[in-house]
């Protein structure tokens, strides 16, 4: 890898399977609403069989962020583990077609490629039922040093910390980032993820993270503080902090350069899947392409506003044009 990258994203390579349902279906299936629920292969197959007209799209949080960065006109790579199977090859073909650098080879041994059944209710909430498959076998050496050296920022997906080698993967990322003067960004990913790994993630943030992404629930879970107290605690430890608040917009800060950014939905909210991923894409695109904290927050809000206007976590419209129009406006 020799071409320069704005961002190298690192996370779980997952094929997303979308389906609409009502709350009664979630209750009947025993699924926690608006949560990321881990399932095994048998449970995933049983749930898939109960779906009505599912739609398959290559995804995963960090991969979605990489696609968003490219859609905005930036450059991005993705590091994740897939198996040498139909879903794995579909994932590779799809992400490369989106313009994202993906250099890893599919694994011939081990678990199948991961998938996530994402159930979208009429209120646009999404409940994820994820079979991690090959993601569980992600190893530190899967992160290519040349890719890290080529990137301005390496972006880590908090979900990855659940992998058996998660702490070692994060440590390798930190070691390579320091060696090549690459900044580290982290998304907390989920309140339960922050709770499960609170001490380790808090230490990693203080020691290594330059840009942190969290929603209010994740910030509260990590800090064990509410609202502004959690925000201020994070800002005291981390150079740059981004806290999303759904329909209430977001808080973006670098030191004393602090701003509230309005939410910018493009019409009715259809599906919130990928909102945080595309918000991170917009912000990281901005911060690696000469934009300030507030402007990057605006780009982020525009990107998130587009992706929640339709089913799926990939943009349908021209994000670059939307961002240019939004900045001018």
Q: How confident is the model at residue 267 (pLDDT cuts 50, 70, 90)?
A: confident
The answer to whether residues 258 and 240 touch, using CB atoms and an 8 Å cutoff, is no
Burial class (CB in 10 A: 0-12, 13-18, 19+), 202: middle
As a whole number, mean pLDDT of residues 160-165 equals 90
Question: Residue 155 is inside which H or E element, if any?
Answer: strand 151-157
Task: Check residue 73 and give its pLDDT.
Answer: 97
Task: Check residue 165 and give its pLDDT.
Answer: 95
Looking at the predicted structure, is the pLDDT value of residue 329 above 70? Answer: no
Cα 21 to Cα 224: distance, rounded to the nearest angstrom: 33
Closest CA to 272 of 118, 62, 130: 118
Cα 280 to Cα 65: distance, rounded to the nearest angstrom: 6
Domains and CATH numbers, the chain: 5-12+60-111+135-328 (3.40.1190.20)
As a whole number, mean pLDDT of residues 47-59 equals 86
Q: What is the DSSP letter of 101?
A: B
**pLDDT tens string 250-261:** 999 999 999 999
Q: Where are the alpha helices (DSSP H) in the chain?
A: 23-29, 41-49, 61-71, 86-97, 145-150, 166-179, 191-196, 198-208, 216-223, 227-237, 275-287, 293-307, 319-328
- pTM for this prediction: 0.89
Cα 290 to Cα 259: distance, rounded to the nearest angstrom: 17
Minimum mean pLDDT among 105-109, 263-267, 269-273, 276-280: which range?
Answer: 269-273
Looking at the predicted structure, is the pLDDT value of residue 308 above 60? Answer: yes
Cα 236 to Cα 46, 165, 260: the distances in Å are 46, 29, 18
Task: Check residue 193 and give its pLDDT.
Answer: 86
Task: Check residue 251 and give its pLDDT.
Answer: 97
Cα 45 to Cα 186: distance, rounded to the nearest angstrom: 31
**pLDDT tens string 63-119:** 999 999 999 999 999 999 999 998 899 899 989 999 999 988 999 999 999 999 999
Q: Which residue has tokens 């990855």?
A: 160
Query: For the chain, how many helices (H) and strands (E)?
Result: 13, 13
Cα 300 to Cα 138, 242, 280, 303: the distances in Å are 29, 10, 6, 5
Task: Check residue 18 and give its pLDDT.
Answer: 87
Task: Check residue 274 and give its pLDDT.
Answer: 87
């Amino acid at each position: 890898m020799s071409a320069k990258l704005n961002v190298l994203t690192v996370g779980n390579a997952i094929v997303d399977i979308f389906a609409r349902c009502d709350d009664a279906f979630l209750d009947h299936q025993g699924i926690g609403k608006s949560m990321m629920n881990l399932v095994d292969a048998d449970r995933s197959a049983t749930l898939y069989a109960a779906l009505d007209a599912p739609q398959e799209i290559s995804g995963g949080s960090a991969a979605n962020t990489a696609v968003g960065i490219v859609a905005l006109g930036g450059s991005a790579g993705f590091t994740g583990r897939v198996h040498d199977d139909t879903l794995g090859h579909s994932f590779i073909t799809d992400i490369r077609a989106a313009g994202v650098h993906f250099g890893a080879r599919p694994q011939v041994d081990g678990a199948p490629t991961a998938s996530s059944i994402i159930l979208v209710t009429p209120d646009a909430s999404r409940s994820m039922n994820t079979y991690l498959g090959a993601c569980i076998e992600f190893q530190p050496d899967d992160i290519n040093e040349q890719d890290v050296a080529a990137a301005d920022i390496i972006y880590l997906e908090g979900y990855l910390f659940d992998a058996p080698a998660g702490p070692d993967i994060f440590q390798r990322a930190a070691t390579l980032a320091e060696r090549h003067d690459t900044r580290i960004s982290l998304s907390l990913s989920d309140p339960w993820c922050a709770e499960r790994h609170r001490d380790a993630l808090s230490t990693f943030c203080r020691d290594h993270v330059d840009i942190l992404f969290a929603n209010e629930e994740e910030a509260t879970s990590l800090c064990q503080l509410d609202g502004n107290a959690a925000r201020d605690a994070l800002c005291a430890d981390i150079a740059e902090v981004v806290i999303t608040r759904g329909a209430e917009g977001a808080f973006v800060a670098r030191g004393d350069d602090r701003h509230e950014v309005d939410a910018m939905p493009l019409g009715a909210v259809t599906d919130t899947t990928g909102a945080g991923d595309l918000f991170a894409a917009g912000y990281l695109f901005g911060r690696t392409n000469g934009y300030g904290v507030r402007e990057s927050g605006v780009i982020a809000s525009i990107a998130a506003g587009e992706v929640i206007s339709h089913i799926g976590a990939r943009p349908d419209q021209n994000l670059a044009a939307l961002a240019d129009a939004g900045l001018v406006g």
